[in-house]
Chain A
Amino acid sequence: MNSLYKSKIEAATLLLVFIFTVMLIYGVGGIHTYGDISGSVVAEQYLHNGSGLTGSTNIVNSIVWDFRGFDTLGEEVVFFTGAIGVALVARKIKNSRKKISGRKK
Chain B
Amino acid sequence: MDTIIKETTKIVFPFILIYGLYIALHGHLTPGGGFAAGAIIGSAFALLVISFEKKDLEHKLIIHKLIDIKSVSGLLMLLVLSKLGYHFRDALIESQTIFRLWSGGFTAMMNIAGMLMVATAIILIIYSLEKEAWR
Contacts and interface: CB of A to CB of B under 8 A. Distances in A.
B8 interface: no
Interface residues of B, number: 44
Interface stretch (B13-21, B51-59, B125-133): B125-133
A49 B29 CA distance: 16
Question: Chain B's interface: helix, strand, loop or mixed, by majority?
Answer: helix
A90 interface: yes
A76 B93 contact: no
Contact of A87 (B30, B111, B128): B128
B38 to A, nearest CB: 9
Q: What secondary structure prevails in chain A residues at the interface with B?
A: helix
How many A residues touch the partner, as a band? 20 to 34
Contact of A83 (B80, B93, B122): B122
Nearest to A86: B125
B76 interface: yes
B83 A66 contact: no
A90 B114 contact: no
Interface of A: 51-58, 60-62, 64-66, 69-70, 72-73, 76-77, 79-80, 82-84, 86-88, 90-92
Interface of B: 27-34, 69, 72-73, 75-76, 79-80, 83, 86, 89, 92-93, 96, 98-99, 103-108, 110-111, 114, 117-118, 120-122, 124-125, 128-129, 131-132, 135
Closest 9 CB pairs between A and B? A56-B28, A83-B121, A55-B93, A56-B104, A87-B128, A55-B105, A56-B107, A65-B110, A90-B132
